[in-house]
Each structure stands twice: as structure tokens, then as C-alpha cells.
Structure 1
Amino acid sequence: MQAPSVGGVMLPRGKGETVRLSRGASLTDFAEKINANPASLVQVMLNLGEMVTATQSVPDETLLLLGEEMNYVVQIVSPEEEDRELLESFDIEFGEDEGDDQAMLPRPPVVTVMGHVDHGKTRLLDAIRKTNVIEGEAGGITQHIGAYQAATEVNDQERKLTFIDTPGHEAFTAMRARGAKSTDIAILVVAANDGVMPQTVEALNHAKAAEVPIVVAVNKIDVEGADPTKVRGQLTEYGLVAEEYGGDTMFVDISAKQGENIDSLLEAVVLTADAALDLRANPEQDAQGLAIEAHLDRGRGAVATVLVQRGTLRVGDTMVVGDAYGRVRAMLDDKGEQIKEAGPATPVLVLGLTNVPGAGDNFLVVDEDRTARQIAEKRAARERNAAFAKRTRRVSLEDLDKVLKAGQVQQLNLIIKGDASGSVEALESSLMQLDVGEEVDLRILHRGVGAVTETDIDLATGSDAIVIGFNVRAEGRATQMADREGVDVRYYSVIYKVIEEIEAALKGMLKPEYEEIELGTAEIREIFRSSKLGNIAGVLIRSGEVRRNTKARLLRDGKVVAENLNIEGLRRFKDDVTEIREGFEGGINLGSYNDIKIDDTIATYEMREKPRS
């Protein structure tokens, strides 16, 4: 029935009914739910001081505001609920073990190594799997989540363990939290010489939130100043009481560098798992699990590291991972060897996906390619709408005038490209948390995995965006195109450098950094007087080369007597030259500066912009 008008628009008013809407829904979606005309809702939003089109994805708060005005209770469906409803529409149950008790067989525990940066997490994994990944990490900080399998002997029986390696820097909190959710047991690494640090507490809180048992590895016991007892005392304050103090947490003193007590640590993990958890899964059902990491490989295309949580994944299976899908062409284990199938708690690298999924996306095996494609497309559309809604800058009619005035709202547009989806996601999450006041706005127009392409440069050109390449470079003609269009492409390999510089840019502080590069030194052997040019120094080039029109300083007895001079004239015999190399003689004119003496040294240099690491 038609009710009184809302803001002068005749609309069916609600009676407090609940309207369920997904993230990034439009006014058209709302109108369909309440059987109203979308144009009328646009008018209502205008009356409320919001400019929104009928098909535009709008933020959650806008939908809630509209619902309140229309006397409806708007319920925004969570991403997990949306996904569950989507899978139910295809008659698929995710996260459920099929079969009776007899079908459940023991599986290895999944272990996450957590702790403060530089306390030896990567070194510990290094010692466990006897390989060396730490040298490949920029700045000694782990950049991606990886998954590896190890074995140990407990009570004369070989037991397997699966390790998830989470990044150590605080900017990767989102990934670390996800790592904890996908795990059975957490190893908390604490350095015996440093003790409990801020990120140790942060990691501990993630593990507790995920309700997983914790085993503490007290590392660096071989380092001077190591005090394992102090670590035990500190962690007691956070509810982790060592067994020897009457608690139930196993503490193991180790040295990852020396490989000391690693077996004892693995044994402690297995014993904790046996005591606290019932780790079983059905290996016979269709495989389900989690994408740990994903990236674009030049030779193989989109590849994803997945952790099989239940069932068995086989080559040839059709799988859907987040908004990617495909038939499994090949699988590689953590040693890089091809395998045909992977059972519960096994990490594998999967080839054959259509695109790069996100770190933390769930995966499942389905019967038909068509089903996989439909699920992936619906997930992609849902994520796209949610992203559009998040990007929308809400401008009310009251402050529209101010916003349009040049210089009142500064906006920094970014395009992020990275080598792996986990890094890109963590980088975006960290950047969006930067708080530099209301006058500055940060927008991430696009993020993706792979090299910086011409399409990215096109988008940057049209929107005055800065392109960030994280562990990737521009490919093909993209570099020349960026130079031609004047697009700023910045390359980084360590995540906190990006955060520091973007924060500085948002605050208007980021200026090019220059460093002084010494070009050459010349010793004055003789002085020639010229009525036209003043004093000319006859020199011998002692090191490097001296070039015309570069900066110079004059040194006398090792002390600087004149700064900011210019090499205005350079001669070899009677010829003007542009440079003179080491070991040769020549004449130098310093312009109007004439206070030179024999045995003085002319040091030339230039200021070069420092490349960003």
C-alpha cells in the first residue's frame, strides 16, 4: 500500500521488516526487495543530502541510513554468509566432513610459526626443512606466506607436520591473522636475548583469538645475554605458564642457527596436538581447503599454494578458489616435485587456474567446469561491488561546494601491482589504515598480481595515479609509455618502505632524496693569469674524471675553503673539452672564483636522486 511520502516522494513504507542486502548493493537492489521504483529511492537519498545513482554500489552506512528513513531494518550479509548462501544454491556444503566416524582418519597437525620480527621465525623453518629461504627475503623480512611439510619421530613412529610460514613484519597483520585461522597449533618464537616484544604479544593474541594451542620456542639460546628463564616469567603474565612451573604450555629452548633442539620442538608440537586436539579428516570426499598464497608465474600462469583441509585433491579435478577456477593441470609438493594427489593437511602448488586468487580464499572441488565458472563469476561480481562501495567518496550537498574548490581536498590515487596476492592484499590493508586527516584522501583504483602493464599506465594516465610495483617491474612497452605520459612508477621490495613513503606523500612531505656522488679530484700544479677569464688552474686529475658544468669544492690542506663552485671551463692544451680522465693534465676555470693556490685540490661532484629501494 502507498504510505505517506518520504521527502515528498510517495513510497511503500516498511513496518520494521528486515531487508537483507549484500555488501556493495545498489538502490536498485534495495528497490527490488521492497517493490519500489529505484528512481524514487534516488530522490529520497537526495533529500537526505546524498547523491547516489540507482545502479551505483553504495557503502553499508548509506543502505542503513536509507533503511532507517524508510522504516526497514537493513541487514548487511557478511562475506562468509554470502559465500555459504552461494554454495548452498549449488547444493554444496563447505567446511563439513562427510562420512561416519570410521571414515575419519588421523591427519598431520597444521602449525603456524609466529613471533616478533627478527626473532628467528624464518631461520627456524629454515632449520626444520634444511633449505635456505632467508637469503631471498628483502631486508630479512618474510614477504609471503608459504607452506611446507616436515617429519619427526615420536615413540618410534614417523609423524608428519605441516608448517605455514607467516610474514614477520607488523604490516602483515592481516595475513598473520589468517595464518592463525587456518592452523591447529601455533609455535610462538621468542628470542632469549630480547624477551617478549610488542609483536610477540600481537602474535599471541592472534593465536588466542583463533583458539589454538601454543608451543613456545625460546630461540637464540646460544647468543650472549640469552635468558630463557626470563622469557618464561614474562609469558606467565600473558597466561602462558610453562609445564615446569605447573602450567600446561610446553617451552623448548632452541637455537635455530645452530640447529639445536629442533627435534625436541617438533616432538613437543606432536605431543601437544595429541593431547589437546582430535585431528582427523575424511580423505575420500571431494577436496576442500584454503589458498595460502598465489602469484602469477611467467611460464606457468596463475599458481596457488593450497592447503588441503579435508578430502583428497587429484590432478584433473575441477576446482574453484575464491573468484578463480580451473582444472588441476599439475601439482607440486613443497620440494618442487610433481605429485598426483594430496590428502588432508598437505600443502601443494596447483597449476591450471584462470586467474590469481586471493590469499585466504577457500577452495573446493566440484563435479563440472560450468559449476566452477558460475561460482567464481558470482564471487567476482560480489567482490567487485563491495570494492566499488568502499571506494565511493561520500559527498553531501552541504559540503559539495567546499569539495569542488581546488586544493580543499587532496587526493592521492594509487595502483598496486605485486608478485603475490597475499603481499598485495596486506599492502592495500596497511595503506588504507593510514590516517593523515580529513584534508587528504587515499584511493586505491586498482590492485593486481603480475608485472606493471600498459593497461595500468593507461589507467594511471587518466586518473593521475601513482603506480606501485611491489617485487615486480614494468613489462614490454609499459616503461616507455610511463616515461612518455609522465606517470610515476615506483618500485619496492620491502613493504614498510611503501607505507613510509605513501604516508609522507599524503602529508606532503615526500621530496626527492638526493645523494652526492664524487666524480673526480684534480690537484692544482700551476696557476695561469688571464685578463679575460681570471685565474686558470693547471691541474693533474688524481682520481675519477672532471667534467664541465659540474659542481666543485676547493680543498686546501684537507679543509674545504670554498663550496658550491662550478667547473665553467675545461681545456686540454688549446682545445675545449667536456671531460678529462684520471692521469691526464688540463686547465680548469672556476668562473668568477679566483682565490686558488698551488697544491689546492678541486673535488667535483654531482647530486643524483637516490633510487627508492
Structure 2
Amino acid sequence: APSPAPAAPQAPRPRQGGPAPRALTPAEQATRQRVLAVAAQREAERREQEKISILSAAEEARRREEEAARQALEDAKAQAIAEAAAREAAEAAGTEHVPAALAVTTDEAKPAIVAAPAAARPVTPAVRETLQLKPGGRPAGADDEDEAPRGPGGVRRPATVAPKRGVPVAPAKKLGDGNRRGGRIDVQAALEGADEKVRSLASVRRQRERERRQAELELLRADGVKVVREVILPETITVQELANRMAARGNEVVRALMKMGVMATITQAIDADTAELVVSEFGHKSRRVSDSDVEIGLEGEADEDADLQIRPPVVTIMGHVDHGKTSLLDALRHTAVAAGEAGGITQHIGAYQVKAPSGALITFLDTPGHEAFTAMRARGAAATDIVVLVVAADDGVMPQTIEAIKHAQAAGVPLIVAINKIDRPGADANRVRQELLQYEIVVEEMGGDTQDVEVSALKKLGLDKLEEAILLQAEVLELRANPDRSAEGAIIESRLDKGRGPVATVLVQKGTLHQGDTVVAGAQWGRVRAMLDDKGANVKSAGPSAPVEILGLSGAPVAGEPFVVVENEQRAREIVEYRAQKLRDRQAAAQTAGRGTMEEMLARIQAGAQKEVAIVVKADVQGSAEAIGVVVTKVGNEEVRVRVLYSGVGQITESDVQLAKASDAIIVAFNVRANVQARELSKSEGVDIRYYSIIYEVADDIEKLVKGKLAPVHREKFLGYAEIRQVFNITKTGKVAGCYVTEGLVKRGCGVRLLRDNVVIHQGELSQLKRFKDDVKEVARGYECGLSFAGFQDLREGDVVECYETEIVAA
């Protein structure tokens, strides 16, 4: 009977009393599909990894077969050499030779390996004929091992050998044969082959590089003895630098320090004693040097006489204030410098080069004549060859004249007396000669050896005789220098320029200074970016006795410091770091000595035995700042001492005001101004800033302050600032400045100072003050106005006009 048909599958019925199955939401379906996709991707990655493992195992098996084929080929070579040697021996004995391949059974068909190496056996003509050897000793048709082609990983491919009949040779395996495609590999074989790592060519190269580096670090000679180096040790040295000097690894030096109980990183510095122990631990010799040794050899060696050439003389003009030194130099240079000096007094050292009618060059240094500039004048005398002593014929010898004579005599330089102002009524040159006898200055007219020339700077009389006298004295001195060497010289003056940075006026004394040279000047260094002569023209080089301005230094060096050209920037940094540290130590010692102990200072204050006036000096150039420091220090007495807290160059900043506030000091500003932030801070903190443009006024005010009588009759009252926005040329009036009042107000008839980069370049009065076309009495802040200055036309956009008025205060 036919079997009953199977029942059709029925849909599952819901349980009695239970809810019906709900359909999946779109979010759940998306999540399910994403999970299934991730699972499928992981499965594909697993299969791919398994395939890679199998292929790696196949590659390893192929490499093993190639190695076995190469070994069989080498065995065949050895067997062929042995057969040839045996055949030759049998022919010599007269017996029949049986090949070794026929003498063994099939089961024992293995290549006979000769005990002695084949290379040690002599190759006879019979052997050469049997193996068909090439003249170099290689079988014909076979590649030499060095000439064999290389396969992957640097392994040489086995070369085929075609020996004569009767020599069994294992078949060579071709590259690409194996089980890569043909034959199947099970998982067990692949896992067994995967355990053995194949070394790559990069790994071999890294190993060889490590071995080479190790050999270089250890510095082994052929006999295996380690090289003993002489390690130079300064007072402090970093761990890395010490390792470099010993040609050792940095971590080895750190490990040696840890054994000694010193925990230091590779960038930290250690002292010379610890470094010496480390050097002895590594088996080297050490040599201690001092920090000051960086300056050894800084100055060049002495020049040979054959290298010396005639150089221009360096002449310093000295004399009493207002005796006509700068005017005499103006007449020689045919320029007008004295008119630009405040009060007609020279405030800085100027260096100029003048060409005489004969074509000879003369370098002049114009030093200030006031006694406040004693230190500057002393430096000028030290850098000079000849001193021209200017004495006014109507005044005669004055105190500063005597001081100049002493400086010239101390410097050991010859004197030439220039008796100036002989055109004035009452001028008596003979009286000047008589007065000079008191100071051991005997002129030629009176039987001495000092030249004297009567000149008039105003009328330009006797200037040619003065130049002849200078050149004659220079010829007697035989001034010579070697221009073909690195430059050396002295800093005449330095200042900070807002647009160009630190600018230093230097006098080259030896060698030639080139643009791009690395220069060390005192505690500053830099590469010479540009050089300018006394006329403001750019020059590429400056020879002996040439004064130039150089740009590119790291800071403004101290006037009078020597400068020298060094070979590289590293040497310059070492020298400057040493000098800066020495300067800091000296300043710290001076401050400590000045303060004394806390108990001593408190005792002096309680007893009222000692008081002091503290000042902060800011000037436009370094020489002025130093001169002010000398002046105010002399003003002090036993009861009240004047102390200069800080002396610097440039505008007054907030840090200067804060320093003065902390020490209850006043700020002395010489030809500089405070910036906006410093002015506001000084007003809020009550710090007194005093502005000066003539040096002896500083001394007078400080002296009154010391005596407790600082109540000047005339006191300046600040009115306001105006910024020049545009300069107009008016036919009858000249240059008129279109200004915008930024602070305070501007009054007609008030005193004005013209500031350029916060440095005073002119002081005078307003000749006109206009608002549009109308003359006005004053212009307040936030308005524009037109200003013109009496007797001054050098106006530029961006200059600032400072307005003030003088008020009378009861004493």
C-alpha cells in the first residue's frame, strides 16, 4: 500500500495564552545586518591569514629544497675531484681505475666526501682535463661563487656544472619550482614550517651596522688594545658631551654615574671632579682646564715685520670745554657737527676719517671736553696714536686742559698743541706756551720737542699746517699694521637703534674687518650684517685705523671694550658666556659688599649714620650712561652715598620703573624718554623721572638732592605729546608738520623737544601753531594741528613732539 504523503509544514502556532511574535524594527534589522557583515569580514580575514601562513610554509620548503640542491652540487664537485685524483693515481700505478659510482650499490649511492679539502689538493693536468677547468681553477660551464647570481634575501642561486661522463651530478633545482602551486600542503606542515623564522636582508644589515658601530666606539687596534684618549674637562660638562669626548655611548656614561651614586640624565651637567672619575673608569686620561682658557689665543699672534704696512694715524682731539675742539674738527671735515650738540657741548665720542690735501688719511676721535667724561676721554687716549691738545689763545690752560695732558702722558702718546682762536681780540699764543711749561710741555719754539700750531677753526686758518704736523709725527712714529689678518680693535661708542638694533662704532687697529665676520666685543657677539663709514655709506671691509659702525651684535657693548674676530659662532658663544658669568659674579660680589650683613645694615639705619640716594640711569648711548654714573658717584660724601642701581641704554621701560619703585630711587633719563606704559606706571607708583640733555645739570641736581636742597627755581611742567602724521613743504615758512595731539595739549610759545625712537634729536621752541589756516593759542588732545619749529627742518613722519613749559617754584 502506498505510504501516506508527508504532511505539509505548518507555521508555528503561538503558545496558548502567549503574545504573537513581533516583527523586527528597521533599526534592529540594520544592527543585525551590521553584526553579520562584521562577522563575515572577520571570517575573510581569518581565511586570508591562513592562506598567508600556508604560502609562507611553502616558501620555506622551497628554500630548503634549493639549499639541498646546492649542497648536492658541492658534493658532486668534491667527488669529481676525488675521482680524477684516483684515476691519475691508478694510471701511475698501472692498474685499472674503477669509478666510485660503480663500486657502490644503489642503496649506498652517496657522494664520497674527501676528508681533506679540495682546495688543498694540487690540480694536475689530468684533473684539469677531466673537470674541464678554466685557467682560474673553476669547472667549465659553472659560475664562480662570487659570480653566481643572487636570489631573494641575498642567497646565491645554485649554478649548474657540466662535468664529464661518469660523474654523477644532482639535478639543479630551478627557481620557482617547488610546492608553491603544485602539490598540496596540509595545515600541520604549514604550522611546523611557520615556527622557523626567516632572517631578512634588512636584519642582516642592521646586525652588521651594529657590529661596525661597536667597533668604532671601542676603537680597537689590530692587537686588540683599546685606544687611550686624552679627554679635556672644563669646570662643568654635560653627560652627552663627556660621552662624545670619550667616544662612548651616553647610556654607558649614565650607567657609570649611577654606580658612583650620581643620578644624572644625559643632558645634565656634572662637575669636573665627577667627570674625572668617569674618565678614569673608562680607561682614558683626563686634562683639567679652566673656564678662562676659552680666551687663550683670542688675540692673534704677533705680526712679522715683512707683513706690516703703513697705516693712517689715529688722532684724538682733547682740551677744555668750549675751546673749539669740535669746531676744529668741523673745519677739517668741512661739516657742521657742533651745531647739533646740546648746548654746543660734545656728548659722545665721534670717529671720523679725513683725507688731507696730500692724499693721506687721518682718523680723528672727538672726545667730550667736560670733566664728566673723564673715563671716555681716557679710553680715547688709550686707542690713539697722537693727541692734539686744543687750547684757546684767549683762555689759556684750564682745568680740563691739565686733565687731558695727564691722560696723554699716561697713555704715552705724543702731543701736538693746537692754539685755537688766534683771530679773537686778546689772543696771546705766547702766554699759552708759557703756561704749558708748568706741565712739562715744551714746544719747539722754546727749544722743546712738542709741535705747536696756531689755528683758527672759525676762519679756517692754519689747518694745512696742523695736518702737516700730524703727518710728520706719524712718519716719525712709523705706524704700521698687517691688513691681511683677522681684525682687532676697540669699541668707540655703542647705542640701541629702534630700526637697526644695537649699533657699535668701532676702530679697527689690526687686520681687516669684513662684512659677515663673527665678532666678540666684550660680553656681546654677533655676525657683522652691515658696515657704515663716517659718512653713512655702506662698506664691505675696513682696514687698520678705519672707524666704522657695525650692525648685527647681540647687544650694545660697553664703550672702550676691545673687539676681536673669531673663527666661528661656537667659539664666540663660549667666550661671551664666560664673560657674562664673570660680570654677574662681579656684580653680585659688589652688591653683597655694599649691603653688608643684615645686622650691620639695620644698625646703620637705626643710628642714622649712613643714608643713600639710589638712582637708575638710562641714556641714549653707553658712554653717556657710564659718564653719568661716574659723575653722580663723585657727588656723594661720607654721610650720604649715591648708588647707581642700574645703568643702561635705550628708552625707559616698565621694568626700570619697578626697579626704582622697589629701591625708592629716581630715574635719570639722558636724551631718552619713557614709553607710554612706563609713564603711566611712574605716575601711579610715584616714581620720579628726570629728563636731561646736558651732563652737568645731572650733577647739579644730584648734588642738591644729596644736600637735601632739591628745590630748583625753574622746573619743567609737562604739557603733552603730538605725533607727526605728515610733513609739508611751504615756500616761505619751510617744513611744517601736520600733527595729531595724542596726550595733553600743545601751547603756542611753549618749549618743545622732537623725539625720534624715544631719543631727543632737537630741543627748541614752536614758531607757529595753526588749526587749519588760523593761528591758535593751544590745541587739545584728539585734534589735529600744524607745527613749525624755529631753526629746525629735519622733520619725519612718525616723530613725536614733546611740549613743556617752565614754571618758577619758590625755593
Instruction: State the TM-score, normalizing by the size of structure 2.
Output: 0.51
Q: Residue deviations 1:182-219, cap 9 Å, x none?
A: 10000000001111111111101110110001101000
1:324 pairs, out of 521, 524, 527, with 524
CA distance in 2, matches of 1:490, 1:187: 36
Identity %: 51
Does residue 448 of structure 2 align to residue 247 of structure 1?
A: yes
CA RMSD of aligned residues (A): 2.3
Which position in structure 1 is the counterpart of 2:327?
123
Q: Residue deviations 1:238-275, cap 9 Å, x none?
A: 22222222211111000011111111101101101212
Cα contact 1:110–1:162 (8 A) shared by 2:
yes
Which position in structure 1 is the counterpart of 2:314?
110
CA distance in 2, matches of 1:235, 1:404: 50
Q: Secondary structure at the match of 2:530?
A: strand
Q: Name which of structure 1's ranges 366-375 and 297-306 shifts more when overlaid on structure 2.
A: 366-375
CA distance in 2, matches of 1:456, 1:515: 23
> Deviation of residue 381 (structure 1)?
2.1
Q: Name which of structure 1's ranges 250-259 and 383-392 shifts more when overlaid on structure 2.
A: 383-392
Does residue 368 of structure 2 align to residue 167 of structure 1?
A: yes
CA distance in 2, matches of 1:170, 1:351: 31
> Deviation of residue 137 (structure 1)?
1.1
> Deviation of residue 427 (structure 1)?
1.0
Q: Return the letter of the residue paired with 1:131.
A: T
> Deviation of residue 443 (structure 1)?
1.9
TM-aligned CA distance change 1:86 to 1:470, over 3 Å: farther
CA distance in 2, matches of 1:295, 1:424: 10
Which position in structure 2 is the counterpart of 1:345?
545
Written as runs of structure 1 = structure 2, the 5 A alignment for 1:430-441 is 430-438=631-639, 440-441=640-641
Written as runs of structure 1 = structure 2, the 5 A alignment for 1:12-161 is 88-94=293-299, 98-153=302-357, 157-161=358-362
> Deviation of residue 400 (structure 1)?
4.9
Which position in structure 2 is the counterpart of 1:486?
686
Which position in structure 1 is the counterpart of 2:464?
263
> Deviation of residue 460 (structure 1)?
1.5
> Deviation of residue 408 (structure 1)?
4.9
Cα contact 1:98–1:282 (8 A) shared by 2:
no
CA distance in 2, matches of 1:373, 1:488: 39
CA distance in 2, matches of 1:317, 1:106: 24
Which position in structure 1 is the counterpart of 2:500?
300
Point out where structure 1 has 5 or more consecutive residues left out of the alignment: 1-84, 518-543, 545-580, 582-606
Q: Return the letter of the residue paired with 2:391.
A: V
> Deviation of residue 429 (structure 1)?
1.6
Which structure has the highest helix share of the two?
2
2:703 pairs, out of 486, 492, 503, with 503
Q: Secondary structure at the match of 1:355?
A: coil
TM-aligned CA distance change 1:608 to 1:245, over 3 Å: closer
TM-aligned CA distance change 1:259 to 1:448, over 3 Å: same
> Deviation of residue 406 (structure 1)?
7.8
Q: Secondary structure at the match of 1:498?
A: helix
Which position in structure 1 is the counterpart of 2:630?
429
> Deviation of residue 442 (structure 1)?
2.0
Which position in structure 2 is the counterpart of 1:384?
584
Cα contact 1:124–1:256 (8 A) shared by 2:
yes
Q: Return the letter of the residue paired with 2:610.
A: V
> Deviation of residue 397 (structure 1)?
8.0
Query: Taking CA–CA contacts closer than 8 Å with sequence separation of 6 or more, which of the two structures ends up with the larger relative contact order?
Result: 1
TM-aligned CA distance change 1:244 to 1:341, over 3 Å: same
Does residue 614 of structure 2 align to residue 413 of structure 1?
A: yes
CA distance in 1, matches of 2:317, 2:370: 13
> Deviation of residue 136 (structure 1)?
1.4
Q: Name which of structure 1's ranges 479-488 and 322-331 shifts more when overlaid on structure 2.
A: 479-488
Point out where structure 2 has 5 or more consecutive residues left out of the alignment: 1-289, 718-746, 748-776, 778-804
Q: Which has the larger radius of gyration?
A: 2
Which position in structure 2 is the counterpart of 1:211?
412
Which structure has the highest strand share of the two?
1
CA distance in 2, matches of 1:400, 1:383: 25
CA distance in 2, matches of 1:429, 1:87: 29
Q: Return the letter of the residue paired with 1:268.
A: A
Q: Return the letter of the residue paired with 1:225.
A: G
Q: Secondary structure at the match of 1:158?
A: coil
> Deviation of residue 401 (structure 1)?
5.0
Q: Residue deviations 1:399-425, cap 9 Å, x none?
A: 555324285532222111000001111
CA distance in 2, matches of 1:342, 1:104: 16
Cα contact 2:298–2:564 (8 A) shared by 1:
no
2:666 pairs, out of 440, 447, 466, with 466
Q: Name which of structure 1's ranges 426-435 and 295-304 shifts more when overlaid on structure 2.
A: 426-435
TM-aligned CA distance change 1:474 to 1:394, over 3 Å: closer
TM-aligned CA distance change 1:610 to 1:362, over 3 Å: farther
Cα contact 2:489–2:562 (8 A) shared by 1:
yes
CA distance in 2, matches of 1:372, 1:244: 52
CA distance in 2, matches of 1:515, 1:371: 52
TM-aligned CA distance change 1:494 to 1:391, over 3 Å: farther
TM-aligned CA distance change 1:191 to 1:284, over 3 Å: same
CA distance in 2, matches of 1:515, 1:464: 21
Q: Secondary structure at the match of 1:433?
A: helix
TM-aligned CA distance change 1:397 to 1:491, over 3 Å: closer
Cα contact 1:302–1:352 (8 A) shared by 2:
yes
Q: Secondary structure at the match of 2:604?
A: helix
Q: Return the letter of the residue paired with 2:521.
A: V
Q: Return the letter of the residue paired with 1:403.
A: R
Q: Return the letter of the residue paired with 2:325.
A: K
Written as runs of structure 1 = structure 2, the 5 A alignment for 1:515-554 is none
Q: Secondary structure at the match of 2:614?
A: strand
Which position in structure 2 is the counterpart of 1:568?
none
Instruction: State the TM-score, normalizing by the size of structure 1.
Output: 0.68
CA distance in 2, matches of 1:312, 1:366: 13
TM-aligned CA distance change 1:610 to 1:233, over 3 Å: same
Q: Secondary structure at the match of 1:180?
A: helix
> Deviation of residue 304 (structure 1)?
0.2
2:428 pairs, out of 209, 212, 227, with 227
Cα contact 1:98–1:285 (8 A) shared by 2:
no
TM-aligned CA distance change 1:608 to 1:148, over 3 Å: closer
> Deviation of residue 97 (structure 1)?
5.5
Q: Secondary structure at the match of 1:442?
A: strand
Which position in structure 2 is the counterpart of 1:358?
558
Q: Residue deviations 1:218-240, cap 9 Å, x none?
A: 00000010011111122123222
Q: Return the letter of the residue paired with 2:461.
A: E
Q: Return the letter of the residue paired with 2:637.
A: V
Q: Return the letter of the residue paired with 2:431.
A: K
CA distance in 1, matches of 2:677, 2:599: 45
CA distance in 1, matches of 2:326, 2:354: 15
